[in-house]
Structure 1
Amino acid sequence: MTRARKCLIDLASTSYYHLIARCVRQAYLCGDDPYSGKNFDHRRTWLIERIKHLSTIFAIDIAAYAVMSNHYHLVVKVNRAHALNWSDDEVITRWYKLYRGHLLVDQHTQGQQLDAISRRHFDEIIATWRARLYDISWYMKNLNEHIAREANKEDNCTGKYWEGRYQSQGLLDHASIIRCMAYVDLNPIRAKAADSLEHSDFTSIQERILHFQALQNNSNNNSNNNTFNVNKKQDDSQHLAQPAQLKPFAGNHVEHAIPFALSDYLALVDWSGRQINPQKAGHIDNSTPKILTTLGVDEAVWMDSIKHFRRQYSHFAGAPQRLKLHAAKNDMKWYKGTG
């Protein structure tokens, strides 16, 4: 049975969500379309640029993304508390980057004094806009509608472009967040669209690696090898030097960051990719990745999860006990994944 979106986005339980949108009518977001014979790689750029642009407006951070041939994945973090701390003027500035304004709001920005009734109406407008600026549905509406308009214009057609609004999974704990991020980052490897993380185009892992390499090359001009090496170290204090429009990795002591070291995450995903594609050239330590040890996750369980994450869970993902508690909170008997 289809459930209302308000039952699927529960910010009181988690601020991290896995989002998926898929094309219809055999439309291609990117790559070579075997039906039309056209190449649509440039649409990947549209999507990535729009994702990042919207994240400068909404109180929503991007933790991971992957753009595939006819669908895309996002892992996002909703910063509700951040949005609630914005001034009214900050809310207005952000909203006006996407929509036309309102007469009362225009009067306020022009310095005009509002009477009591107008002021109450103004406050209601700002409260509505503020709530929408940390609302995943409004974020996805602005993302998907923009891409649909551009694609329909290019295809010289009208009609539905996306298969429904979007799908979502709430990520209830650190283990499910990291599993889902790795699942998203490894999409091209699993689909055999790429043979390495460095060549996994239009993914967040490729963006993080290229940024990581650039920092290493700047600090070591003697290096002639531009191949990703997970054995190199990066201090948590460098989290601010990570890609500006991706949520950074850092230790537990750093606020508003993913609570793991970037180098440990890169090592984990690289190790996982080699298990999926054992023919991949290169060498990596056979020892269990540090993050798996920290989370207490078995290697076989981890690999099964990052191969089949979408099938293992439904609307929420997490440890069995977390899923049971969340199901009880929402008057559900169980959520898929509790077995």
Structure 2
Amino acid sequence: MTRARKNLIDLAATSYYHLFVRCVRRAFLCGDDNYTGKNFDHRREWLIKRMKLLSSVFAIEIAAYAIMSNHYHLVVNVNRREALDWTDDEIIERWYQLYNGHTLVDRYLNGEQLDETSLRFFNEIVATWRERLYDISWYMKNLNEHIAREANKEDNCTGKYWEGRHKSQALLDETALLSCMAYVDLNPIRANIAETLENSDFTSIKERIVHFKAFNADTAKQSNPPKHKDNNQHESQPTALKPFGGNQIKHTLPFALLDYIELLDWSGRHIVLKKKGHIDNATPSVLLTLNIEVAQWFESVHRFRKLYSNFAGSKQRLKQQAATNDVKWYKGTG
């Protein structure tokens, strides 16, 4: 049964969501087009650049991404508290980076003293913009419409570029978050178009590894390298992505970066059995910490989108969410 989109985003249940969009007719409109012989990899760069710009404006942080030839994945965190803490002036400044403003707001910015009725209307406008700046639908609408317009302009055509609106999965617990991020980052390896994490172009894991290695190389050249471990941990990660930090550091992903890289490298070697190098049979520590069975892990890495529907998590969390939403069950509880 189709559910209203407003019932699929429940920030009281979780702030993490997996988002997925496919090109129209599943055409290769972001990679090699076998029909025309053209390569459209630059459009994948458009997507990455645009989603990072939007994340700098919206209170929506990027945890993981993979831009494939005919579809893309995003794992995001909605930071509603941050948006609620922004001042009215910050809201206006952010909104004006993307959209046309309002004449009443322009009057306020020009220093005009607003009467009581105008001020009430002004507050309603800003309140609406505030809500939209942590709204996944507004984020995705802006992202997809921008790319569609640019692609149609380049192709000198009109019409749909995406199959439809984005699909979403709410990630209800840490296991679901970790599994989904790995599923997204391992897309190129699973599709046999990359053999290593560092060769997995247009993914967040490649960006994280490249940045981490560059940071370590620069640090090694310094005569007085930084001593503060927490600061190093943030500086060694891309600023446009939500940082790893573990449960000890607030406002970070609840895992350590090196543990995550180790887990993905280990998982990738099992996915691509022909890959060179020794496959360590020792289970990565993060799986032991979260008490995730190896068989369950590989099932998630291979089939995450098919294992769950709009909500993903443990059987207990899915049952709780189903009861909250007054439905009998969610896929994944069986």
- The TM tier, using the shorter chain, reads over 0.9
Label 1:135 to 1:255 Cα distance change in 2 as closer, same or farther (>3 A).
Answer: same
Once the two structures are aligned, what percentage of the paired residues are identical?
67
CA distance in 1, matches of 2:25, 2:333: 35
1:74 and 1:184 in contact (8 A); partners too? yes
- Structure 2 counterpart of 1:34, one-letter code: N
Cα deviation digits, residues 65-119 of structure 1 (max 9, x gap): 0000100000000000100000000000000001111111111111111111001
Structure-to-structure mapping, 1:284-323, within 5 angstroms:
285-323=280-318
2:190 and 2:271 in contact (8 A); partners too? yes
Shift of 1:260: 1.1
CA distance in 2, matches of 1:217, 1:29: 37
Cα deviation digits, residues 24-77 of structure 1 (max 9, x gap): 145334221112211101101100000100000000000000000100000000
- Structure 1 counterpart of 2:191, one-letter code: A
1:238 equivalent in alignment to 2:232: yes
Structure 1 length as normaliser, TM-score?
A: 0.94
CA distance in 2, matches of 1:251, 1:17: 19
Cα deviation digits, residues 184-215 of structure 1 (max 9, x gap): 00000011011111100000000001111112
Q: Give 3-state SS (helix, strand or coil) of 1:287's partner.
A: coil
Q: 1:190 — aligned with what?
A: 190
1:27 and 1:161 in contact (8 A); partners too? no
Structure-to-structure mapping, 1:49-198, within 5 angstroms:
49-198=49-198
Q: Give 3-state SS (helix, strand or coil) of 1:245's partner.
A: coil
Label 1:62 to 1:131 Cα distance change in 2 as closer, same or farther (>3 A).
Answer: same
CA distance in 1, matches of 2:232, 2:183: 25
1:327 and 1:334 in contact (8 A); partners too? yes
Shift of 1:166: 0.5
1:152 and 1:158 in contact (8 A); partners too? yes
2:270 and 2:279 in contact (8 A); partners too? no
Work out the number of aligned pairs and report it: 327
Shift of 1:3: 1.2
Q: Give 3-state SS (helix, strand or coil) of 1:282's partner.
A: coil
Which segments of 5 or more consecutive residues in structure 2 lack a partner in the other structure?
222-227
CA distance in 2, matches of 1:38, 1:268: 36
1:249 and 1:260 in contact (8 A); partners too? yes
Structure 2 length as normaliser, TM-score?
A: 0.95
Shift of 1:281: 2.0
Q: 1:249 — aligned with what?
A: 244
